[in-house]
Structures are given as structure tokens and as C-alpha cells.
Chains A and B, each alone.
Chain A
Amino acid sequence: MSDVARTTEVAAADSPAIVKPRKRARSTKAMIDRYSWYELVGIYAGMALFLFFVLAPFIEGFLVSLKPLGLLFSTPYSFLPVNGSFDAYFTMWQSVPALGMHIFNSFFISSVVTLIVVIIVVPASYAFARFQFPGNGLMLAGFLAVNMFSGAVLLIPLFRLMRTLGLLNTYWAMIVPGAAFLIPSSIFLLRTYMMRIPKELDEAAWVDGASRLYTLRRVILPLAMPGIVVVAIMTFIGAYAQQFIFALTFNSKTEFMPLPVGLFAFFGKQEVVWNELMAASFVGILPVMIVIIFLQRYLVAGLTAGAVKQ
């Protein structure tokens, strides 16, 4: 800003009478952030194209939820909902009475998974970030290896395990494998974050008489909060997304079914109630959105500023 002021001053000094310093609309931005109009058009056009690809299924899904069922099978297919309405959002609760239960189950399972993962991952990442112990490299590599198997490959052994433990047809059948598959990557993520917290802070606390746990609670946890929030969000989304396969395999009770499996109820014997199915999907995503918006407030950047001189 001051640079701009100076250049205009200099320019004014060079040719005093002729040129008046022109006011520029973008003069409050740093030089590196300034773009000409065609560059801006290009940037936004690129973003729009990218966003359209990403969002197209959602847009179509939303439009479907507004259309009456008859319109969905008309030829030629009409993308725009002619005389559309939000009826499906009300009728779906009657067509599938357990829908509310399914949404709650999804939310409940993901929340418990997230809670378990955070409780386990925080001390584990701290240990991996700070302690040198025999086999830590091996264990990290092991965690990474576990991540290479998708849950689907391990379904049958997992099924036998669940049956032996007597967990089939309970909430635990979906919670335990869900958490197990999400812990390794979270440890990786949070460990990297914690390694960026200066080690001198641990040493200073140790010299001041704090125990390791006290240091973790009072010094490391508050500083690692943004990292923990990222882990929590990733875990919540991951748990929401992956519960389908575990629910389908390990659970046959309607009252424990999460939303992705519960949506099958819209598949009738004769026809699929597409508009209500889409409406239910959108309502089902809502809890995730709420959780993310809530957690995002804790994503404060630059929290470690001023800890050590870098």
C-alpha cells in the first residue's frame, strides 16, 4: 500500500503539472495479487468449469428431488423441473417411516467413530512425533500398509471376527471396523502436525517440572487443535462414507441401519421412488454439513506464532 502511494508520489513529482495521480480501483492489493480483467475472467471461468464437473451430480440430484415421479421417465428428458415442488421432502417420511432413525444412526455411528479415533490418535501421534522407541518406524510403516487394503478386501475375515466376538447386528459391528480403518491415516496426519510444534516447548515444560501428560494436555493439545479438528472432520466424513459396506455386511437389523443402507427402502418391488430417494439423500448429508461448519471455527491458522524465533 505504501509502495503504491510512493510510486504515485514519485510519478507526480516527475511530471508535476501534467498528470494527476489517477485513482486505481485495485490499488489496495499488493502487486503480486493484482490481475488484469481478462486474467480474472479466465480464473473464474476455470473455477466455474471445475466446479460444474464436481457439482453436476449434486445439481441433477437436487433437481430430481423437486420433480414429480412421472416427469423423470418422460422423453425427451427434461432437466428442468417443470411444475416442481418440495413434496418429496414431506412424503418421504411417510414412505419410509424409519428414515429419521436411519439418519440418526448414521450420525451416531460417525460421531462415536470420530470420538474413538480422536481419543486414540492424539496420544499416539504425540508418541510418534516425540519419542524414539524401538520399532516406531516399523509400526508407522505397518499402519501405512493397513491403509493399502480397502475394507472390502477384508470383509470375510472381518465377518468371522465380528461373529466370534458376538458383535454382529449391533452398533459396534459398524463402529469398530470403521474406527480401525480410519486410525492409521489420522495418526500419520496428526503426527506430521505435531512434529511442527517446536520441541523446545516440551523441553521448557519439562525443565519447569511438568510431566509428559501435563505437557500434552496444557501445551501440545491447545497448539495441535487445528490439526485435531482436521483429523476429526476427515474421520467424520470418512466414517459417514464407509459405513455402507460394513452396515450391509455385518448388520441385518433395520433399527441399526445407517442412511446409505436405509435408502434401499425406496427401492420398491415395481419402481424406485427416485425423487424421494434424492430428497432423503440431501437431508441425510445435512448433519455432516452442520458438523463441519461447527468444527471449522476451530481451524485457526498461525496459532504457534511467537513460540520460538524462526
Chain B
Amino acid sequence: MSQLSLKRLEKSFNEAKIIKGIDLDVTEGQFVVFVGPSGCGKSTLLRMIAGLEDVTEGEISISGKVVNDLPPVERGIAMVFQSYALYPHMTVYENIAFPLRVEKLPKAELDKRVQAAAKVLQLEPRLQHRPGQLSGGQRQRVAIGRAIVRQPKIFLFDEPLSNLDAALRSEMRIELMELHKRLGSTMIYVTHDQVEAMTMADKIVVLDAGLISQVGSPLELYHRPDNLFVAGFIGSPRMNFMNGTVTSSNGTSLVIDLGTLGTLDLPRSSKIGAGQSVTVGIRPEHLKLGAGDFTLAITPRIIEHLGIHTVLYANLPAGENFIGLFEGDPKVEEAVAVEIGFALDQVHLFDQAGLAVY
């Protein structure tokens, strides 16, 4: 049974419509990630679930109960804020105990729960310190501690790692995933970082301009993106796109004219009429040096040597960016043309409206 369900959810600020009708079901124990570019409404959506923003239209229900008009505490949620939002004048202990003090929990029970949370988050030696004396990662853990003492049904995270440096971020990512395993509660996590989404999520919800672009497991989104937006957003470095025109289709294959790059004969059963413009996508990591099913020549502008990978940045004749990612340290040089190819079964095709054609 779904634990959280959103039905035709909408949100407007004055005239501006931020959330434009969202339907979503989350089952118990899932780790769901809302991902999207800045301003896509992901944080607003999370704040609506938390009860910090009113619902303009539609319905939010948690465990089968409509919670539109309930305050956060009665929804059974706890939230971790991007900025941590710790109370600077209280010790770590008091910060974690705050929700329980509000609840007026007996002292012994309160102490037991705070100690348990501190143990899980390895904050025991820090309990008597103030937030100002803690490092970024520790502050983040205090914020999480304040969320777990209430034993909520659903955890909400609003870009919790975006203030940490890169090394700490990947460390906290692992910690959060372990925490999810241990607690087994539902977690909803907002981020603009698709790497976080890919690594942590059971289910990714890609948002674009207030609408759900696609929902699926990380690998579903990676291998079968529904549209141009998801294809470009998921995957790093991002997918290469080439504009083309369909010249003929016969029910088993499409012939696509890519201009100066040549002609691509793609096995697709779809009947896109001749003359329609389409977009061909190929991920940088699916390119091979040397000839493939389709071969083209690029002149790298910049080369990044990462040891494990080598990344080529080039421009296509039409001016679009083109990125190639190759394993190891192959012999390539800046401003020297190389021949690269790819297999046809790795190609993504999108029609005029930007929808994927399989």
C-alpha cells in the first residue's frame, strides 16, 4: 500500500504556478529522490508535503489519511533543512531533544531516545557542545538526529548535503544510505545533483518546470529516458545530441540525415514521417575510439585526463558541444582530429516533441 500519495497537486504563488499537477505514490520504506534543475519546484513540493506551504489544488495523503490541513507534527513527518537550522544557543543534546521537549515527554524516556540517536549518529562525545563548535558534517548529523528522535513515518530532506565539501558529501551520502537501511523508514530527498539521485535512490522523480518528467529507478532513467529533458539531465557528462531529419521509414528502420555527419540507419519500428526533424542522442561513455556502427571525426578542444577516464570536449560542425568519455589514457591530442564510433543499440532517438522513440 502506498504510504504517501499526491493527487493532482498544484501550487501557485499569486499568479505564478509553481507546481502544475503532480501525481505520485510512494510505498513504505522507499528512498525517493526529487531531482531537477533550480526552480523546477522540487523544494516547494517537499515543503508542501512537510506542511510548510499550503496546497493550492489537489490532495496529499499519508497512510491513507488526507493531511492537507494538518500541521507538520500531525503528519508524522520530520524534515532536515538545507541550512541545518540548528538552534545555536542550545547544546547538541538540547537540539536533538527539542521535538521531545515540545511533546513534553518524560525525562527518562527523552534521555533514552536522545542517547540512542546520538549513538546512531556518532555524536556522543559532542552532546554538550554548541552547534558553532561543530564541523559541517557534525552539524548535519545533529540536524538528522533531531529528525530521528521523533520516530517519524516519513523523513524529508531538503538538499541536505549541498553545503558540504565534495569529500564530506560522498561520506555523508554513504551514512545516509546506511541510516535508511537501519531505520527502514520512507525517505524523500530533494537534490539538484543527479549523482546523489543516481547513487541513493530506489526511485527517482525527475521534475521539470513544475511537472513530473519521469519516475523510475536510477537505471531505468539511465537506459530508457522518456524524453529529451531526462536524457540530458541524468548521466554525467551529459548525453550528446545531434539534430537530424528523417528521410525515410519502412516500419523496421528509420533513415536519418545528420547533415555533414552523414546518414544514420536506425532500427526502429516507429513510423515517423519523412521530413520530420528528430534528435539523436548518444552518451559520452558509449563512444569508442575507432570505427563503429556509425563513425564520425571530432577535433578535441579540451582534454581532461582523470587517470581512470579521459574526457574529450569538441564541437560538431553545426556548433553543438560534443563530449566523449573513454576508459584509461588513450593516445589523443588537443586539436588533432580523431575517429570515434558507436553501436546503434546505444542510440537514443527523440521525436519533434522531445519524446523518446523506441
Contact = CB atoms under 8 A, between A and B. Distances in A.
B73 interface: yes
Interface string A215-246: 00011001100000000000000000000000
A57 interface: no
Contacts of A201: 85, 87
Given A208-B98, A208-B102, A309 B132 contact: no
Contacts of A86: none
A194 to B, nearest CB: 14
B163 interface: yes
A204 B87 CA distance: 9
Given A214-B102, A309-B163, A207 B73 contact: yes
A306 B81 contact: no
Nearest to A219: B87
Given A198-B83, A204-B81, A207-B52, A306 B163 contact: no
Contacts of B31: none
B51 interface: yes
B2 interface: no
Contacts of B88: 223, 303-307
A205 to B, nearest CB: 7
Interface in B61-98: 71-73, 77-79, 81, 83-89, 98
Interface in B130-149: 130-134, 136, 139, 146
B52 A223 contact: no
A90 interface: no
A258 B98 CA distance: 47
B99 interface: yes
A306 B139 contact: yes
A308 interface: yes
Given A203-B52, A205-B98, A208-B146, A305 B81 contact: no
Contacts of A207: 50-52, 72-73, 77-79
Interface string B111-151: 00000000000000000001111101001000000100010
A302 to B, nearest CB: 8
A302 B136 CA distance: 18
A223 B86 CA distance: 12
A306 B87 CA distance: 8
A306 B79 contact: no
B44 to A, nearest CB: 13
B25 interface: no
A200 B81 contact: yes
A209 B72 contact: yes
Contacts of A218: 98
A206 interface: yes
A200 B85 CA distance: 6
A308 to B, nearest CB: 3
Nearest to A302: B132
A200 B133 contact: no
B103 interface: yes
A210 B71 CA distance: 10
A308 B88 CA distance: 9
B95 to A, nearest CB: 10
A247 B87 CA distance: 45
A218 B99 CA distance: 12
Interface in A72-127: none
Contacts of A198: 83, 85
A308 B163 CA distance: 10
Contacts of A305: 88, 132
A219 B83 CA distance: 16
B85 A306 contact: no
Contacts of A302: 132
Contacts of B81: 200, 203-204, 308
Which of B83, B103, B130, B132 lies at the interface centre, i.e. has the most chain A CB atoms within 10 A of its CB?
A: B83
Contact of A308 (B83, B133, B150): B83
A204 B163 CA distance: 18
B52 A209 contact: no
Nearest to A201: B85
B77 A307 contact: no
Contact of A209 (B103, B131, B133, B134): B103
B52 A306 contact: no
B136 A309 contact: yes
Contacts of B163: 309
Contact of B89 (A206, A222, A308, A309): A222
A200 B99 contact: no
A307 B130 contact: no
A211 B84 CA distance: 20
Contacts of B83: 198, 200, 307-309
A138 B145 CA distance: 42
A223 B73 CA distance: 24
Given A204-B79, A208-B146, A222-B89, A306 B99 contact: no
Interface string A273-310: 00000000000000000000000000000111111110
B98 A307 contact: no
Given A206-B71, A306-B134, 17 more contacts: A201-B85, A201-B87, A203-B52, A203-B85, A205-B98, A207-B51, A207-B52, A207-B79, A208-B72, A208-B73, A208-B98, A208-B99, A209-B71, A209-B99, A309-B83, A309-B84, A309-B163
27 contacts: A201-B87, A204-B81, A204-B85, A204-B146, A206-B52, A206-B71, A206-B72, A207-B50, A207-B51, A207-B72, A207-B73, A207-B78, A208-B72, A209-B71, A209-B99, A209-B103, A210-B98, A214-B102, A219-B87, A222-B89, A302-B132, A303-B89, A306-B131, A306-B132, A307-B84, A308-B84, A308-B85
